[in-house]
Amino acid sequence: MTETEPARRGRAARNDSVILDAARAVFLEDPKAPIAAVAERAGVGMSALYRRYAGKEDLLRRLCHDGLRRFIAEAEAADAEPDGWAAFTRFLERVVEADVHSLTVHLAGTFTPTPEMRRDAERAGALGAALAGRAAASGRLRRDVVTGDVGLVLEGCAAIRVPDPGRTRELRLRHLAMLLDGMAAADAPALPGPPPAPGELDWRWRRSPGADPVSAAE
């Protein structure tokens, strides 16, 4: 157990990130993908996976938690922006661009979250609400938009998907721009229906991993 083991550690560390990148790509494509697809994409065997993660659930939990942390980081970074509306739009653009929503929401329900994840999810929600509040205070957000509408926006953008990932990002940002114009339409008639309640879109987080899937998209 000496200190210096450069070669072994180096290759193992490289495999760490290779596996994580492959897992992210594969599970963003298909949340129900078999774990063997991750190994194949990473160019490693199954052993390299199971040496690092106790099982599929562990890997998914890690990916989702990373996405959650990214969400929080983007929210905090955007919050540094002095203009409330600019902070809001920049935040949404970055989150859509990084495909964080798929990483968090679409993977939820496939594992049992840790208490720390629940805390982070709560914090993420608070940060998002704060940004929406600042956007509202800036006066550029139409008055009948509530925090829950942000969840609908992210959900809608994440649903757009074409075979090419780069093109997917372009189309999502285009769609988001249209949505932002809709959210900024101050003189538009009131939005129909009761606005989304705060906890109404968090139902995925409460489902146990064995529950039957309601979505797909699948």
> Which residues contact DNA by CB under 7 A?
2, 4-9, 11-12, 15, 32, 34-36, 43-48, 50-51, 55-57
- Judged by beta carbon, residue 9 or residue 174, the one nearer a copy of itself is 174
User: In 13-145, at which residue ranges do the beta strands (DSSP E only) sit?
Assistant: none
Please return the burial class of 87, using the count of CB atoms within 10 Å of its CB with bins 0-12, 13-18 and 19+.
Answer: buried
- Least CB distance to a copy of itself at residue 10 (A): 29
Rounded CA separation 158/191 (Å): 22
Please return the burial class of 154, using the count of CB atoms within 10 Å of its CB with bins 0-12, 13-18 and 19+.
Answer: buried
Of these partners, a copy of itself, DNA, none, which one is at the site of residue 216 (CB under 5 to 8 Å by kind)? Answer: a copy of itself
Phi-psi region of 193 (alpha: psi -120 to 50; beta: other; left: phi over 0): left
- Judged by beta carbon, residue 61 or residue 142, the one nearer DNA is 61
Report 142-201 residues binding a copy of itself (CB under 8 A).
145, 149, 152-153, 155-167, 170-171, 173-175, 177-185, 188, 191-196, 200-201
Of these partners, DNA, a copy of itself, none, which one is at the site of residue 56 (CB under 5 to 8 Å by kind)? Answer: DNA
Rg (C-alpha) for the chain, rounded Å, is: 19
Rounded CA separation 49/57 (Å): 12
- Judged by beta carbon, residue 139 or residue 213, the one nearer a copy of itself is 213
Q: 180 and 140 in contact (C-beta within 8 Å)?
A: no
Q: Is 80 in the site for a copy of itself (CB under 8 A)?
A: no
Tokens, residue 95? 């989150």
- Least CB distance to DNA at residue 13 (A): 9
Footprint of a copy of itself (CB under 8 A): 25, 29-32, 106, 145, 149, 152-153, 155-167, 170-171, 173-175, 177-185, 188, 191-196, 200-201, 203, 212-218
